[in-house]
Chains A and B, each alone.
Chain A
Amino acid sequence: MKKSLITKETILLDMDVESKTDAVHKMCAHLFLLKKTDNPSLLYLDIMNREQVVSTFAGMHTAIPHTVSQHINEPVLCFVRVRGEDFTWDGDDEDVRFIFLLSAPAQDDLKKLRQSQSYVFSSVAQLISRPEIIDLWLSTHDEQVILDSLNQAFESNLNITM
């Protein structure tokens, strides 16, 4: 399960986006093409509802939209590198280059689900605190490089917590 959470297909480099809504739209559409969701517009609504509670801008040029949704078929992490440096997530100071979209299907024990998915953003937090990783993510043209850096962090976090 953790291997398929993020794949090369869910890593999108240099996406042209105008706004947060545009970005989330495009990501949902992409997940639809990958057959991860059967209903991208409802998935989009779930994500945006979460954004309305409080923005998922995380600092360090990163936003982490996420939702537990009935409209996703399996847990999926989608990575987007935004083209252009003037894209902002929610306001003037929130410039974002990387978007991590995490969605997992609802299950009976929500608490357990949340805990089981926490390692993802724990890893992201560790990675974005390291300037060399940010540089790597900004400069690479190979999805595999990004995939490796993420999977490495996921594995070390899973080993600690399990």
Chain B
Amino acid sequence: MSGNSLKVVVQTTGRFLSGMVMPNIGAFIAWGLITALFIPTGWLPNESLAALVSPMIRYLLPLLIGYTGGKMVGGDRGAVAGAVSTMGVIVGAEIPMFLGAMIVGPLGGLAISRFDKYIHHKIKPGFEMLVNNFSLGIIAMLIALIAYVVIGPVVAVVTEALGNGVGWIVEQSLLPLVSIIVEPAKILFLNNAINHGVFTPLGADQAAQTGASIFYLIETNPGPGLGILLAYMVVGKGMAQKSAYGATVIHFLGGIHEIYFPYILMKPRLMIAVIAGGMAGVAFNMVTGNALVGPPSPGSVFALVLMSTKGTGLLLTLGSIAVAATTSFLIAAVLIRHDASACDDLDAAKAEVEANKTQAKGLQNEPAAQVRTIVVACDAGMGSSAMGATVLRGKIQEAGLNIEVTNSAINDLEDADIVITQQALSDRARAKLPHAQHLSIGNFMDASFYDELVAKLV
């Protein structure tokens, strides 16, 4: 059971993190395209337009992530608090602060929502605006200061430690093992820090002596990420599958690796697939002696090809991408397919654990005391969910349970112990209300689903 609850924690965290990134993918693409086009090694080098690159990745993208993170926890006010708080980690750091933004954004949102809950109904009429604005301003300021003084440096230390770990593995000549650190670190958006902070200097040293370096090929190989996206395309479902096509183009041809990170955050177990893919790619390059003459930037297939050594180098580079992609694809495909069947089981398992707990206690009223509200939610909140709530309400009343059943639009979800949504909408509902228990239903008139649920609640 502890393994199961760990799995739930990891999955929930992963989903939460990807929930902060996914809405902002468009901004990543904008930044990625500007980078791919205008940086000195880009397709249309242009010094003045390239000035956009650094502020966008240093400020805009982390702020958007912090804003979204705050919004997920604390609504519109949380979003503002999240963005202000994120400024604290951005200014305190030398590297793009995605990881820091993912921590302090939700923290800012949490702080303001807790405060709001606490002072609810306690403000004198006429003073609401004043209290709202100043409370938000003061709380956001405090979190930003804490972020600047404490969280920023901690994230910087973590990043540095990762860099040192990579350096140590390199010294021990265990190069393929480096993927064990590099691939997960990439997913936490430390890719640039690792690549430019560790591998590019190492590569420059080596290339100065031998004319080429394998270090340029470690973080930049688009193979592992390509494998993940291909796996989503072939065996994935829903939004993830549909969006994987576009993401593949941006990732593989455009070299913007950031685009595939949320796909792994959604299913953290896929980390195994990218690590294995990365290791396979590095091992291939080690065995064949393949290396690049300069750092490929961005990490697209074109940039890697351009930086390949003359002669067979080009083929070997393509080979290493293919090997990495195939390895990562095969493992990811198995994991995604397994998850597709296990995903529903996860919710069922959670409900079962709850049911077991209450059975063990032998107290009839206990579960009803735990579950006070059930919300049936759909996109609009007036159609399907209204039907579902009606059917469930009837069954709850029949069973003599004192549980409130309402219906709502997912965007309006505020508080509930259990949220029931159609499968395609469950991720959205989870993002909106991460702490509730979420159940997925095929169609809202499925009486057997409600019978089972009521049986577990009685």
List residues of A whose CB falls within 8 A of some B CB: 50, 53-54, 56-60, 62, 64, 66-68, 102, 104, 110-111, 113-115, 117-126, 128-129
| Cα separation A137 to B408 with both chains bound (whole Å) | 29
New A-B contacts (11) at CB < 8 Å, excluding given A66-B380, A114-B380, A115-B382 = A54-B378, A54-B379, A54-B424, A58-B445, A111-B409, A114-B382, A115-B381, A117-B386, A118-B382, A125-B391, A128-B445
Looking across the interface, which residue of chain B has its beta carbon closest to that of A113?
B382
- Known contacts A59-B444, A114-B412, A118-B407; decide if A54 and B382 are in contact (CB<8 Å): no
CA distance A41 to B444 in the complex (A): 28
Instruction: State whether A57 touches B391 (Cβ < 8 A).
Output: no
C-alpha spacing A118/B389, complex, angstroms? 10
Instruction: Give Cα distance in the complex from A56 to B386, angstroms.
Output: 12
A68→B380 contact, CB < 8 A: yes
Measured in the bound complex, the distance between the Cα atoms of B391 and A126 in whole Å is 7
Specify which chain B residues have a CB less than 8 angstroms from the CB of A50 in the assembled complex.
Answer: 379-380
- Smallest beta-carbon distance B446→chain A, Å: 6
A67 and B380 within 8 A (CB): yes
Q: Per a CB cutoff under 8 Å, which of B382, B425, B446 touches A117?
A: B382
A121 touches B391 (CB 8 A): no
Does B317 reach chain A (CB closer than 8 Å)?
no
User: For B288, what are the chain A residues with a Cβ–Cβ distance below 8 Å?
Assistant: none
Chain B residues near A53 (CB-CB < 8 A): 379, 424-425
Interfacial chain A residues near B384, Cβ < 8 Å: 54, 56, 58, 64, 121
Residue of B nearest to A53 (CB): B379
Residues of A close to B233: CB separation below 8 A:
none
Contacts A53-B424, A54-B425, A114-B380 given: A120-B390 contact, CB under 8 Å? no
What are 27 A-B contacts with C-beta separation under 8 Å?
Answer: A53-B379, A54-B384, A54-B424, A56-B383, A56-B384, A57-B443, A58-B387, A58-B445, A64-B383, A64-B384, A66-B382, A66-B383, A102-B382, A111-B412, A114-B380, A114-B382, A114-B408, A115-B382, A117-B382, A121-B382, A121-B384, A122-B386, A122-B389, A123-B390, A125-B390, A126-B394, A129-B391
Once the chains are docked, how many angstroms separate the CA of A75 from the CA of B359? 48
Residues from 362 to 398 in B contacting A, C-beta threshold 8 Å:
378-391, 394
B422 at the interface (CB under 8 A from A): yes
Q: Which of B381, B422, B424 contacts A114 (CB 8 A)?
A: B381
Q: Which residues of B contact A66 (CB under 8 A)?
A: 380, 382-383
**What are the 3 tightest A-B residue pairs by CB atom distance, in nearest-first order?**
A59-B445, A125-B387, A121-B386
By a CB distance below 8 angstroms, the chain B residues around A123 are 390
Name which of A118, A120, A123 has the most chain B CB atoms within 10 A of its CB.
Answer: A118
Residue interface bits B410-425, CB-to-A below 8 A is 1, else 0: 0010000000001011
Q: What is the bound-complex CA distance between A121 and B422, given in angstroms?
A: 16
Distance between A100 CB and nearest chain B CB, rounded to angstroms? 9
Inter-chain CA distance A104–B422, complex, in Å, is 23
How distant is the Cα of A81 from the Cα of B409 in the complex, in angstroms? 28
Interface bin, chain B: 20 to 34
Q: Which B-chain residue is minimally distant from A111 (CB atoms)?
A: B412
**CB nearest neighbor in A for B408:** A114
Q: Closest B residue to A68 by CB, please name it.
A: B380
CB neighbours (8 Å) of A117 from chain B are 382, 386
A128 to B444, CA, bound (A): 12
- Give the nearest-CB partner of A67 in chain B: B380
Could you tell me the distance between the alpha carbons of A19 and B408 in the complex, rounded to whole angstroms? 29
Chain A residue with the shortest CB-CB distance to B442: A59
Contacts of B443 in A (CB 8 A): 57-59
A90 to chain B, nearest CB (A): 10
C-alpha spacing A159/B446, complex, angstroms: 26
* Distance in Å: Cβ of B345 to nearest Cβ of chain A: 21
- Min CB gap B102→A, angstroms: 27
Chain A positions within 8 Å of B389 at CB level: 118, 122
Distance of A62 Cα from B383 Cα, bound (Å): 12
> What residues of A have a CB within 8 angstroms of the CB of B425 in the complex?
53-54
A119 to chain B, nearest CB (A): 8
Contact of A102 among B383, B388, B422, B424 (CB under 8 A): B383
The B401-458 residues at the A interface (CB cut-off 8 A) are: 407-409, 412, 422, 424-425, 443-447
Interface-centre pick from A60, A122, A128 (highest chain B CB count, 10 A) = A122
A104 / chain B contacts, CB cutoff of 8 Å = 382
Contacts of A68 in B (CB 8 A): 380, 382
**Residues of chain B from 327 to 346 with CB closer than 8 A to chain A in the complex:** none
Minimum CB–CB distance from A78 to chain B (whole Å) comes to 14
CA distance A76 to B99 in the complex (A): 49
A68 to B390, CA, bound (A): 21
- Once A60-B445, A128-B445 are accepted as A-B contacts, the answer to whether A121 and B387 lie under 8 Å apart by CB is yes
Residue of B nearest to A49 (CB): B379
Chain A's nearest CB lies how many Å from the CB of B244?
A: 18
A62 CB contacts on chain B under 8 angstroms: 445
Say how far B114's CB is from chain A's closest CB, in angstroms: 23
Distance in angstroms from A91 CB to nearest chain B CB is 12
Interface residues of B in 301-347 (CB under 8 A from A): none
- B390 touches which of A54, A60, A114, A126 (Cβ 8 Å): A126
- Collect the chain B residues with CB atoms within 8 Å of residue A60's CB: 445
Per the bound structure, the CA–CA distance linking A124 and B388 in Å amounts to: 11
CB distance from A30 to the nearest CB of B (A): 20
* B412 CB contacts on chain A under 8 angstroms: 111, 114
Q: Are B422 and A54 touching (Cβ within 8 A)?
A: yes
Residues of B within 8 A of A110 (CB): 409
